[in-house]
Copies of this chain bind each other. A is one copy, B any other.
Amino acid sequence: MTIHDALKNLVLDHIAVAVDDLDKSVLFYQNLGLVFEDEREVVEEQKVITAFSPIDHNTHLELLTPYGIKKEDGAIFQYLQKKGPGIHHLCFTVLNLEQKCFELKALGVQFLYSQAKIGAKKRLVNFIHPKSAGGVLIELSQKIE
């Protein structure tokens, strides 16, 4: 099996890192050698603002920090309060989210949402509970055509 065959099934889309100060973190990773997209994306539902940098052909580093007047209600604000800054989740692209969730639930894997939601970049997303994934929060994401 070639690497291209292996990546057909599942490919990493992004690593999400919760940060206290977006501009400071962007500068740190720029000093490391990363190049960021100019645009910042606000994800209203998650009450965050994000910065993206490519780190491989399909993969981005996503820095995210609480944003907006109700930012204290967002999961990232609460994560930072509880655990401090650090890696928040890994996101993999799947071809068919509904089928993948169905298969995994049959194996006893728990998800955060009973139904998939619309996430950043207008993808269809759900999250595997860290309890089901050895302490790692894993997002599964499907592109919508």
Interface centre among A32, A85, A109 (most CB of B within 10 A): A32
Contact residues of A between 43 and 58, Cβ < 8 Å to B: 53-58
**Is A144 an interface residue, CB under 8 A from the partner?**
no
Which residues from chain B contact A138 at a C-beta distance below 8 Å? 32
Each complex incorporates copies of this chain amounting to 2
**Is A15 an interface residue, CB under 8 A from the partner?**
yes
Contact residues of A between 68 and 92, Cβ < 8 Å to B: 84-87, 90, 92
> Is B9 touching A35 in the complex (CB atoms < 8 A)?
yes
Which residues from chain B contact A54 at a C-beta distance below 8 Å? 3, 6-7
Which residues from chain B contact A61 at a C-beta distance below 8 Å? 12
**Is A125 an interface residue, CB under 8 A from the partner?**
no
> Is B55 touching A10 in the complex (CB atoms < 8 A)?
yes
Q: Show 22 residue pairs from A and B whose CB-CB distance is below 8 angstroms, ordered by the A residue.
A: A5-B35, A10-B34, A10-B55, A11-B55, A12-B56, A12-B61, A17-B134, A19-B134, A31-B103, A32-B100, A32-B104, A32-B138, A33-B94, A33-B100, A55-B92, A56-B56, A56-B59, A57-B57, A85-B134, A86-B136, A87-B90, A87-B135
